[in-house]
Amino acid sequence: DIQMTQSPSTLSASVGDRVTITCRASQNIDSWLAWYQQKPGKAPKLLIFKASSLESGVPSRFSGSGSGTEFTLTISSLQPDDFATYYCQQSNSYPLTFGGGTKVEIK
Amino acid sequence: QLQLQESGPGLVKPSETLSLTCTVSGGSIGRSSYYWGWIRQPPGKGLEWIGHIYYNGNTNYNPSLKSRVTMSVDMSKDQFSLKLSSVTAADTAVYYCLRIAARVVDYWGQGTLVAVSS
């Protein structure tokens, strides 16, 4: 199985901050990486697929980059609605695997 | 707008079989571009892919659960189902049904908490 490692596990930030979350894969996954946002008590929501493609309806302040084994999710200017937990997921091969999550908290 | 809704018991006894059904509305399971699957999330923990099924019945299960998982599809009702046998407390989780496109989950059900306890 491909192991996905996210850092940090928790991030404290303020509204308006630029936020970056990192995801590392245990082997090369090219650009087969997705990012999800999950709020308490809700299902995750797809933000980005194929490392940098924005899902329809997702605000442009979210962006993704990277390839191979290292990837980042960036929120250019953190908004109140963005405080949530973020997960990366490799879509290179089965079994699909997820990172452990990064919780973005209010500073 | 596609919607998915899980249904099934919220409490299962240890060693018994967990059974859930997902009903799809606003679309058809028979569309060839998509897979239909399950992911679970233990309370306060991360996401684990359980497996998926194609409309023709082809399946792909997580090897860590493969010996205990069975998925099926009923195209006439636009439903698909999950059975997980020999459950233990470690199987307590929120179970999500979902649609998978190009190995990415683009639609999720709201999730249903299943507790394993005597």
**A3–chain B nearest CA distance, Å:** 12
Residue of chain A minimizing CA distance to B108: A43
Low-confidence ranges of chain B (pLDDT < 70): none
Instruction: Report how far residue A46's alpha carbon sits from residue A51's, in angstroms, rounded to the nearest whole number.
Output: 12
Q: What is the mean pLDDT of residues A66-71?
A: 98
**B13–chain A nearest CA distance, Å:** 24
B36-59 pLDDT per residue, tens: 999 999 999 999 999 999 999 999
Q: Do A98 and B46 touch (CB under 8 A)?
A: yes
Residue A13 has pLDDT above 90, yes or no: yes
Q: What is the mean pLDDT of residues A39-64?
A: 97
pLDDT recorded at residue A7: 97
* Chain B residues 6-35 with a CB less than 8 Å from chain A: none
Q: What is the mean pLDDT of residues A76-96?
A: 96
pLDDT recorded at residue B83: 98
CB-based burial label for A22 (10 Å; 0-12, 13-18, 19+): middle
pLDDT recorded at residue B111: 98
CB-based burial label for A44 (10 Å; 0-12, 13-18, 19+): buried
pLDDT recorded at residue A61: 97
pLDDT recorded at residue A29: 97
